Structure 1
Amino acid sequence: MDVLDVARWQFGITTVYHFLMVPLTIGLGLLVAVMHTMWVRTDKPEWLRMTRFWGRVYLINFVLGVATGLVQEFQFGLAWSEYSRFVGDVFGSLLALEALLAFFLESTFLGLWIFGWGRIPKKLHLAALWAAVIGSIVSAYFIIAANSWMQHPVGVVTDDATGRPVQVDFLAVLTNNTALAAFSHAVVAALMVAGALLVGIGLWHLRRRRLAGLSPDDVDHRVWRRSVRLGGFVSLAAFVLVSLTGDWQGKLMYAQQPLKMSSAEALCETEAPAPFSVFAWSKLGSNECDDVRSITIPGLVSFLAHGDFSSPVPGVNDLQERYAEVYGATYPDDPSRFGALAGEEVDYTPLLAVSYWSFRLMIGMGAVSAGVAAYALWATRGGRVPTSRLGVYGALAAVAAPFVANATGWVFTEMGRQPFVVYPNPDVPVEDQVWFFTAQAVSPGITAAEVWTSLTLLTLVYGALAAVELWLLTRFVRRGVTGGDGAPAPAAGTDDTHRDADDDVLSFAH
């Protein structure tokens, strides 16, 4: 592999690893805030115990997410300095706001929530949690706005002297329709992740208690039953919203990045109406879009692209020719900027196998998660407790499904943009468009050996962090809501101000 390939692998691996934690932080943070709100409103002990148990899981994940997220921005200067120079005028403001406004908001108020149990008034303590959760959502928006600008650059003009984009309309960058669609999709997908976690762990604990002969009338039983029911309803509602926001994204994708849409369907030639491919078998692995055979649903891709079942959708081969005509059939013959690809033919078609299967994994895993949520709601109706080993352990295993859906969706979004790291905006004339090839984005002075070294070290560190997170999560999940959790209430309006080191929420944080 040359330095470009290794640098892409490094950024891809670290980004996907970090993104496994992001949706859980956002989704579970929202649900914990709802649980805490319900406890403040009703004063029912099960809501307090739910808040404290799921709050532990939320904070373990938050800490690991921060640790892995810090590495992302360092890579811009290490392996992608040319990219950083190109996008710096736009990304500077977004990343500064993310760090100075959103991150400090969530970290400061999260600290108040962690250490405020029994020390600050009840409603103020709740407000601190909501402020932290809102901060994490705002943080996600700034990051998604930055990524969406790479997908659909707006609010900039090109500096004639440097050839780089200069931001002239920050509001246009913030309100980019690509960012609005991607953000809404990401937030509801995050709720699917959190809902699946509540369902899987809640069902496991309910079955465990049933087999142990424990009372179905105590507080702990209500904790797990409410967790399952809440997680199930949230997952199903989120699945509906994911479908709607995904449809919005699909129509924008067709307008802004038609090759991504056609590659996701292995649609080689222009068709009207264009069918949706359920399963394909051909030479996708060689990236040759020719003689693809598949099981299809007629007209569905036309609907995803246009909102009707008859309009034409351009094929990969036609779009490859069109892009080569507009943006050049070969890379500029400049080894100092394009390395080994200088003067080579540009393949504007994303990796077909990756685009095709990541798109289907995203949809399929989302459907699995929704199916498990429906099962959980049915199995716990009317106070029932499921004892089926297959159903309960299947739901526990299916906790991974929305994580996979989120990760493969991110892979599809990023890999489908290639060979551009900043994709040209088709809404403006070609002479005014901004674009940047991935081949010219890598740092010119770095070697493949140096990137391999950092990739190896990061893999070892991330592996250790993953082991730590899994150990902590397993420990607290198995422990459940009992075993020393005295659940002290905040100082105002409480009947129990007892607190010791083992009782404090996330006492291990000390």
Structure 2
Amino acid sequence: MDPLLIARLQFASTTIFHYFFVPVSIGMALTIAIMQTMYVIKGDDRYKRLTQFFGTLFLINFAVGVVTGILQEFQFGMNWSTYSRFVGDVFGPSLAIEGLLAFFLESTFIGVWVFGWNRLSKRLHLASVWLVSIGTIMSAFWILSANSFMQNPVGFEFAGDRAQMNSFGAILTNPHLWAQFPHVLLTSFATGAFLIAGISAWKLIRRHDVDLFKRSFRIAITVGALSAFAILFTGHWQAQYLVKSQPMKMAAAEALWENSGDPAPFTVFADINTEEKKNNFEIQIPYLLSFLSFNQFNGSVEGINELQEQYVEKYGPGDYIPPVTTLFWVFRIMTGAGGVMLLLGFYGMYASRRGKLPKNNLYLKLMPFAMILPFIANTCGWILTEMGRQPFVVFGLMKTEDAVSPSVTANEMLFSLIAFTALYSVLAIVTIYLFARHIKKTDHFDTDLPTASDPFDRKGGAEIVS
């Protein structure tokens, strides 16, 4: 067994599973904060009940996300100790601030929000949920500041065989961070919003409090549609940045083996032959790749084969071509899922504003299934981000094969992979059960949030919304 392969499988499985929960927390926190803002502004108890109903789901997701995040940290010390030693001095400040500032902000004000119903003024209590939302956004920022160093190392100097930070400002102004952060943030907003919209659609199909869940659907689908629309621009911006900073990643995502010529066509479909380093067959749209890369209908994009020669000259002998077939298709699945989200989102905005939701059962029946679209897009996006950087774990500085713990055997890694996978499977089952149990309640006003009279009494849910 290859320790490197097992370590990479474990990192992929834990990261993908953990990231199921992260964008949900960010997106749901924002949408719930909007619902509670509507309650405070309008004084309409229906928005309060919606806030508490979806707030329970947010708390379940947040709790499981914390557990999966803690488990994920263990693998760095177990499987990637050489990598951890190399980047530790650079990552330390970002991860410390994320834990001591952003996560503490989230967790503290979640407690204030949960136990503050009817104890705090409406506006002060509203401030607590907005601080939770801000905390989730700040958490994403600091984590991405660390990830961006892996993509574009800046603000460091070598201290022996380790990278040592010499400019915290350079870390915070990393161009990759500011190309990546808006895109990740908007995809998170869309994820949480589509989850709420899908749940609301499920409730509407079953005629559970139609008037109530029409409101949650309208809020969520508006957030989802606007986020999906803005994602078009942030994704375009990020892709243009990557054409310059990581051209091999984008060439692989296009299965572009040779220089494109001027203008560059966009490949819609390709039969990729990685052994001969060419495409046996391809369907292309003329001029489009030039526009996507340079905002003009002319310009040449470098191909994989030429970039391989450049990388060998710059970094030394080796194979610098990432898995082209995987990157080509995850890029198209990601953009396809985003396109469907955009169409469903804007149609949902139109239908909800024209009062067509109760009658349009076909659309409502699609929306619970559409909840999976942002998860597919997010997963494909991170596969593209991380696999497209290969063979580097820190681009240009450290190869993935050199980052593995030297003293951990393949059997030990395999044991931890099986153990983590089993634990994550249990967490997934528990999460799905708790979500389904809460969503299926017809008397959803009996919320699981604590009541004002007794924070530990979960039987008096009616009191909390009175």
Normalised by the size of structure 1, how large is the TM-score? 0.86
Distance in 1 between residues matched to 2:85 and 2:32, nearest whole Å: 40
Distance 1:45-1:295 versus aligned 2 partners, 3 A rule: same
Question: Which residue in the other structure is 2:266 paired with?
Answer: 276
Measure the CA separation in 1 of the matches of 2:69 and 2:287: 41
Alpha-carbon distance between aligned partners in 1 of 2:344 and 2:32, rounded to the nearest angstrom: 21
Is 1:206 paired with 2:204?
yes
2:72 is aligned with 1:66: no
Give the CA deviation at 1:375.
Answer: 3.4
The answer (yes or no) to whether the contact 2:450–2:457 under 8 Å persists in 1 is no
1:448 equivalent in structure 2: 410
Q: How does 1:123-134 map to 2 (within 5 A)?
A: 123-134=123-134
Residue aligned with 2:354, SS: helix
Matched, 1:173 2:171: yes
Farther off after superposition, 196-205 or 47-56: 196-205
Partner of 2:248: 259
The yes-or-no answer on 1:412 pairing with 2:410 is: no
AA aligned opposite 1:248: W
Name the CA shift for 1:227/1:292 in 2 (closer, same or farther; >3 Å): farther
Aligned residues: 462
Shift of the alpha carbon at 1:499?
10
- Shift of residue 129, structure 1, vs aligned partner: 1.5
Q: 1:257 to 1:198 in 2, by over 3 A?
A: same
Could you tell me which residue of structure 2 aligns to residue 224 of structure 1? 213
1:61-95 deviations in whole A, cap 9, x for unaligned? Answer: 11110000011222111100000011011001111
* Structure 1 residue identity aligned to 2:352: T
Letter paired with 2:45: P
The alignment status of 1:422 with 2:420, answered yes or no, reads no
What's 1:333 paired with?
Answer: none
Is 1:37–2:43 an aligned residue pair?
A: no
Deviation per residue, 1:107-130 (Å, 9 max, x gap) = 111111112222222222222211
> 1:120·1:490 contact (CA, 8 Å) conserved in 2?
no
- Alpha-carbon separation, structure 1, partners of 2:120 and 2:33: 17
Give, in angstroms, the shift of residue 45 of structure 1: 1.3
Deviation at 1:305, TM superposition (A): 2.1
> What CA distance in whole angstroms lies between the structure 2 residues aligned with 1:364 and 1:401?
9
2:288 paired with 1:300? yes
In 1, the alpha carbon distance for the partners of 2:183 and 2:170 equals 20
Matching of residue 501 in structure 1 with residue 463 in structure 2 = no
Please name the residue that 2:99 is paired with.
99
Deviations 1:116-167 (A, max 9, x none): 22222222222221122211111111100100111001111223xx132221
Q: Take 2:319 and 2:449, find their aligned partners in 1: how far apart are those partners?
A: 59
State the shift of 1:50 in Å: 1.1
Aligned counterpart, 2:25: 25
In the aligned structure 1, how far is the partner of 2:90 from the partner of 2:16?
Answer: 23
Q: Provide the rounded CA distance (Å) in 2 between the counterparts of 1:192 and 1:362.
A: 14
Paired amino acid for 1:444: P
Q: One-letter code of the match for 1:400?
A: I
Amino acid at match of 2:222: F
CA distance in structure 1 between the partners assigned to 2:443 and 2:89 by the alignment = 49
Alpha-carbon distance between aligned partners in 2 of 1:485 and 1:145, rounded to the nearest angstrom = 37
* Alpha-carbon spacing, 1:503–1:270, altered in 2? closer, same or farther (3 Å): farther
- Please tell me the residue identity of whatever aligns with 1:466: A
TM-score, with normalisation over the residues of structure 2?
A: 0.94
**Are 1:371 and 2:343 counterparts?**
yes
Please give the alpha-carbon distance, in whole angstroms, between the structure 2 residues aligned to 1:481 and 1:17: 31
Shift of 1:229: 1.4
1:371 deviation in Å?
Answer: 2.0
Classify 1:481/1:361 alpha carbon distance in 2 versus 1 (closer, same or farther; 3 Å). Answer: farther
- Cα 1:480–1:111 change in 2 (3 A) is farther
List runs of 5+ in structure 2 lacking aligned partners.
none
Change (3 A) 1:180 1:504: farther
Note if contact 2:197-2:217 (Cα within 8 Å) is conserved in structure 1: yes
SS in 1 for 2:321: coil
Q: Could you tell which deviates more after superposition, 288-297 or 54-63?
A: 288-297
Gaps of 5+ in 1: 215-219, 330-345, 425-434, 492-496
Residue 320, structure 1, aligned to residue 320, structure 2: no
TM-superposed deviation, 1:389:
5.2
Separation in structure 2 between the aligned mates of residue 485 and residue 473 of structure 1, nearest angstrom:
13
Contact 1:48–1:487 under 8 Å retained in 2? no
| In structure 2, distance between residues paired with 1:106 and 1:377 | 30
1:170-224 deviations in whole A, cap 9, x for unaligned? Answer: 0110121211121110111011112212222212211211xxxx8xxxxx33321
Shift of residue 258, structure 1, vs aligned partner: 0.2
Question: What's the secondary structure of 2:144's corresponding residue?
Answer: helix
String of CA shifts for 1:453-504, please: whole Å, max 9, x gaps: 000011110000000000011111111563534999979xxxxx99952245
Tell me, in whole angstroms, the C-alpha distance in 1 between the residues paired with 2:448 and 2:244: 56
Residues 344-423 of structure 1 aligned to structure 2 (within 5 Å):
346-387=318-359, 390-423=362-395
SS at match of 1:453: helix
* In 2: Cα distance, 1:204 partner to 1:320 partner: 50
Q: Retained in 2: the 8 A contact 1:195–1:232?
A: yes
Q: Which residue of 2 aligns with 1:81?
A: 81
Quick check: 1:486–1:503 contact (8 Å CA) kept in 2? no
SS at match of 2:124: helix
Give 3-state SS (helix, strand or coil) of 1:282's partner.
strand
- Post-superposition offset of 1:316: 0.4
Give, in whole Å, the separation in 2 of the partners of 1:273 and 1:144.
34
**CA–CA distance in 2 between the matches of 1:455 and 1:396?**
32
Worse overlay, 461-470 or 265-274? 265-274
Q: Indicate conservation of the 8 Å contact 1:106/1:136, yes or no.
A: yes
The 3-state SS of whatever aligns with 1:293 is strand
Partner of 1:337: none
In structure 1, what is the equivalent of residue 231 of structure 2?
Answer: 242
Contact 2:451/2:461 (<8 A) preserved = no
Using a 3 Å threshold, how does the CA distance of structure 1 residues 181 and 504 change in structure 2: closer, same or farther?
farther
Give per-residue Cα distances to partners, 1:404-432, cap 9 Å, x unaligned.
101110111000000000113xxxxxxxx
Per the alignment, do residues 499 and 60 of structure 1 end up closer, same or farther by CA in structure 2, a change over 3 Å counting? closer
The residue that corresponds to 1:310 in the other structure is 298
Distance change >3 Å, CA 250–CA 498, structure 1 → 2: closer
For the 8 Å contact 1:189–1:402, the answer to whether it is kept is yes
Instruction: Tell me, yes or no, if the aligned pair for 2:36 and 2:51 is still in contact at 8 Å.
Output: yes
